[in-house]
Amino acid sequence: MSTPFYVSPQQAMADRAEYARKGIARGRSVVVLQYNDGVVFVAENPSRALHKVSEIYDRIAFAAVGKYNEFENLRIGGVRYADLRGYTYDRDDVTARGLANVYAQTLGTIFSSAGEKPYEVELIVAEVGAAPEDDQIYRLPHDGSIVDEHGSVAVGGNADQISSYLDQRHRDGMTLAEALKLAVESLARDTNGSERTLTAEQLEVAVLDRKRPQQRKFKRLLGRQLSRLLEEGSGSRSGSAGSSEGAGSAEDGED
């Protein structure tokens, strides 16, 4: 009788983590930054059908990298959770913290299950508050842990290099145009340090804008509005008008 093949639990979990990390690193990065009027999401994503950034509820948005079908299932589950909780209790009871906890339980259960492969996804859940100090940003890696982020965060691709670049340059009180310019600069840096040029057509950009009069604070920045903000960010300090001009003509909600 042959001896059964044995793998220690520690080695099995390390192998699953490595598998998930490699899958996530193959995707293009997503960057999330706070600015003076809210939170901006910027992803390198030329597709107009498959979104990496989406609305979840009134003041909450979701960004993800990795396998599209896996994080899309999580997004749909998050929308259902938010709708049910808001309908059953109160809309104010739907929070990014509560949603992050639900995602953490789901990802953690899948990661520790020997019967299925771990999800190759990394998530960001953000909520815009009444003031910058009330904003919440949570990063959820493949294993279901929760990391409370402040200021800026990057996931997917060469996230470590991008995060280091953002940490050195992000500051409180940036305008939307300034934050967008910084996000695009960070995404355009290759692993070898060289820079690429990213156009509006290659980007997916959305904001949670606390100044919006509507209950729903999420909107996508598209077309001429996005191009104008990119041009303003490339100018001297003309981006100071970006946050106020950005409140007008973008699409609302999901495409």
Structural domains of the chain in order of their starting residue, each with its CATH number:
20-243 (3.60.20.10)
Residues 6+ away with beta carbon under 8 Å from 110: 116, 118, 119, 144
pLDDT tens digits in sequence order for the chain, 255 residues long: 566 677 788 888 899 999 999 999 988 899 999 999 999 999 999 888 899 999 999 999 999 999 999 999 999 999 999 999 999 999 999 999 999 999 999 999 999 987 789 999 999 999 999 999 999 999 999 999 999 999 999 999 889 999 999 999 999 999 999 999 999 999 998 655 667 888 899 999 999 999 999 999 999 999 899 999 988 877 634 434 344 344 443 444 444
Q: pLDDT tens digit string along 52-68?
A: 999 999 999 999 999 99
Q: pLDDT tens digit string along 4-28?
A: 677 788 888 899 999 999 999 988 8
User: What pLDDT shows up at residue 29?
Assistant: 93
